[in-house]
Amino acid sequence: MNSSNNISASDAPSFLSTQKITTFLTFNNQAEEASNFYTSVFKDSKVIQKTINRDERAGKVGAMLIATLELFGQKFMLLNGGPSFTFTQGFSLMVNCDTQAEIDEYWEKLTADGGKEVMCGWLTDKFGVSWQIVPFVMGKLMSSGDPEKSKRVMDAMMQMVKLDITGLQKAFDGV
């Protein structure tokens, strides 16, 4: 604690003090499973900290209550909140991919074991979390300044479930 006996930002755990906004996901008692799943899906990721529940009012005593993860350098906190918490497509996590192989890899892993494909590069994983798996080049294709090219890319994307970089590029090129 700082010298004035007041809690300050410098008292925050070091894994949180460098990130001003942290995504906080509340699960229906699946936070530990989700933390293990996400760190297996994404390379260069890890569980930074787990907080064990010590209060029966917050669920099973001794079970994990909160996990703090790092995925691609971004901090996420996952909480076991109980059955009243669910996810909607109004919130999604977007993964920008360099290659089609990377899109395919994340798509396969995130739709496994009960995940669902949606449209336009969206999917919902087995926990109900919505994801957008998109190529980095998408922003360039959509904002080229040529409305006809952008429209062709949008039209192509609207027909896709999992995004296909070659198909998007062909639409952009008018092929």
Q: How confident is the model at residue 84 (pLDDT cuts 50, 70, 90)?
A: confident
For residue 109, pLDDT over 50 is answered with yes
Last residue of a domain, one of 85, 110, 141: 85
The strand order across the sheet containing 92-97 reads 92-97, 130-135, 122-124, 116-117
* C-alpha distances in Å from residue 158, one per residue of 108, 121, 161: 20, 9, 8
Q: How confident is the model at residue 5 (pLDDT cuts 50, 70, 90)?
A: low
Mark whether 80 and 106 lie in a shared domain. Answer: no
Residue 8's pLDDT is 46
Mark whether 3 and 59 lie in a shared domain. Answer: yes
Residue 57's pLDDT is 84
Q: How confident is the model at residue 11 (pLDDT cuts 50, 70, 90)?
A: low
CATH number at residue 164: 3.10.180.10
Structural domain boundaries enclosing 155 = 87-175
pTM: 0.87
| Amino acid present at 59 | G
Q: CB–CB of 51/44 below 8 Å?
A: no
Q: How confident is the model at residue 31 (pLDDT cuts 50, 70, 90)?
A: very high
Mark whether 75 and 109 lie in a shared domain. Answer: no
CA–CA separation, 126 and 113 (whole Å): 6
* Backbone dihedral angles phi then psi of residue 138, each to the nearest 5 degrees: -60, -45
Mark whether 18 and 100 lie in a shared domain. Answer: no
For residue 130, pLDDT over 70 is answered with yes
